[in-house]
Amino acid sequence: MIDNTLQQAISTALNKLYGIEAAPESVVLQKTKKEFSGDYTVVVFPYVKQARKSPEAVANELGAAVKEALQDVIADFNVIKGFLNFTVCDDYWLAFANSIANNPRYGLQEVDKSAAPVVIEYSSPNTNKPLHLGHIRNNLLGWSVSQLLTANGRNVKKVNLVNDRGIHICKSMLAWLRFGNGETPESSGMKGDHLVGKYYVEFDKHYKAEIKALMEKGVEEEQAKKEAPLMVEAQQMLKRWEDGDQEIRDLWQKMNNWVYAGFDETYRKMGVGFDKIYYESNTYLLGKELVQRGLDMGVLFRKEDGSVWCDLTDAGLDQKLLLRKDGTSVYMTQDLGTALLRQKEFGADQLIYVVGNEQDYHFQVLKIVLNRLGFDWADKVYHLSYGMVELPNGKMKSREGTVVDADDLIEEMEQTAEEMCRDRGKNDDMSPEQLKELYHMLALGALKYFILKVDPTKTMLFNPAESIDFNGNTGPFIQYTHARIRSIIRKAVGEKGLDLHAVAQGHAINDKERDIIKLLHDMPSIVAQAAAAYSPAMIANYSYDLAKAFNSFYQDTPILRETDANRMLFLVQLCDAVSVGLKNMMWILGIEVPERM
Residue-wise DSSP of 212-263: HHHHHTT--HHHHHHH-HHHHHHHHHHHHHHTT-HHHHHHHHHHHHHHHHHH
**In this predicted model, what pLDDT tens digit does every residue of 241-274 receive, in sequence order?**
989 999 999 999 999 999 999 999 999 999 999 9
**In this predicted model, what pLDDT tens digit does every residue of 567-581 receive, in sequence order?**
999 999 999 999 999
Q: Where are the domains of the chain?
A: 2-88, 122-400, 406-588
**In this predicted model, what pLDDT tens digit does every residue of 30-43 receive, in sequence order?**
999 989 999 999 99
- DSSP secondary structure letter of residue 563: S
pLDDT of residue 241: 94
Determine the length of the chain: 597
3-state secondary structure 11-62: HHHHHHHHCCCCCHHHCCEEECCCCCCCCEEEECHHHHHHHCCCHHHHHHHH
> What number of other Cβ atoms are within 10 A of residue 200's Cβ?
23
The answer to whether 161 touches 124, Cβ cutoff 8 Å, is yes
Dihedrals φ, ψ of 84, to 5°? Answer: -105, 115
Q: Which of 22-26, 118-122, 326-330 has the lowest mean pLDDT?
A: 326-330
Sign of CA dihedral 121, 126, 131, 132: negative
The answer to whether 546 touches 520, Cβ cutoff 8 Å, is yes
Q: Listing from the earlier edge strand, what are the strands of the sheet with 319-323? A: 301-302, 308-311, 319-323
- Tell whether the model's pLDDT for residue 398 goes beyond 60: no
Helix (H, G, I), strand (E, B) or coil at 384: strand
Dihedrals φ, ψ of 12, to 5°? Answer: -65, -45
Q: Which CATH number fits domain 122-400: 3.40.50.450, 3.40.50.620, 3.30.230.10, 3.40.50.720?
A: 3.40.50.620
Confidence band, pLDDT 50/70/90 cuts, at residue 399: very low
Helix (H, G, I), strand (E, B) or coil at 115: coil
Q: Which CATH number fits domain 406-588: 3.10.20.30, 1.10.730.10, 3.40.630.30, 1.10.3470.10?
A: 1.10.730.10
pLDDT of residue 426: 66
d(CA 498, CA 562): 12
Dihedrals φ, ψ of 266, to 5°? Answer: -70, -40
Task: Report which residue type is found at 266.
Answer: T
d(CA 470, CA 581): 19
- DSSP secondary structure letter of residue 405: B
- Tell whether the model's pLDDT for residue 529 goes beyond 70: yes
**In this predicted model, what pLDDT tens digit does every residue of 401-425 receive, in sequence order?**
456 888 988 998 899 888 888 877 6
Instruction: Report the predicted TM-score, pTM, of the whole model to 2 decimal places.
Output: 0.91
d(CA 45, CA 62): 12
d(CA 199, CA 399): 9
What contacts 514, CB < 8 A, 6 or more positions away? 90, 93
Q: Class for domain 2-88, per CATH?
A: alpha beta
- Tell whether the model's pLDDT for residue 307 goes beyond 70: yes
